[in-house]
């Protein structure tokens, strides 16, 4: 079945550092790809998405590009802030049918001032 593999955490960075969280996927079709973020004590929030190959999703300074050739959707941010500390989940979904999400295991990110 479809699956998502994320970079192992936790990840600890200093403020203003460059962030990359790796995500690769396995899917039989052509899924849509997502990054969700979970702040402490809160629900999952959609951070960004891309629905086809070479699309770039972006939001709040975060970016990820749908790379079909490498089956990857790595999350990047040029300069992280303390407020970016959270757990980040990569996910995929069929574009038709149930559109249920398949998540990676999550990567905990801590940003130190």
Residues that bind other proteins (CB under 8 A): 4, 32, 34, 36, 42-46, 49, 51, 89, 91, 93, 95, 98-106
Of 38 and 71, which CB lies nearer to other proteins in the complex structure?
38
The least distance separating other proteins from the CB of residue 105, rounded to whole angstroms, comes to: 5
Rounded to whole angstroms, the Cα distance separating 111 from 113 reads 7
Of 18 and 30, which CB lies nearer to other proteins in the complex structure?
30
What phi and psi, each to the nearest 5 degrees, are found at residue 110?
-120, 130
Of 27 and 101, which CB lies nearer to other proteins in the complex structure?
101
Answer yes or no: are the C-beta atoms of 76 and 20 closer than 8 Å: yes
Rounded to whole angstroms, the Cα distance separating 86 from 104 reads 15
């Amino acid at each position: 079945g479809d699956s998502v593999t994320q970079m192992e955490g936790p990840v600890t960075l200093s403020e203003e550092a460059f962030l990359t969280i790796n995500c690769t996927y396995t899917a039989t079709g052509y899924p849509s790809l997502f990054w969700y973020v979970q702040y402490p004590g809160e629900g999952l929030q959609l951070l960004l998405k891309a629905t086809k190959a070479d699309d770039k999703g972006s939001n709040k300074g975060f970016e990820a590009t749908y790379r079909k050739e490498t089956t990857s959707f790595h999350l990047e941010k040029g300069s992280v802030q303390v407020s970016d500390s959270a757990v980040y989940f990569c996910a995929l979904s069929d574009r038709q049918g149930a559109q249920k999400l398949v998540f990676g295991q999550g990567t905990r990110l801590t940003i130190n001032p």
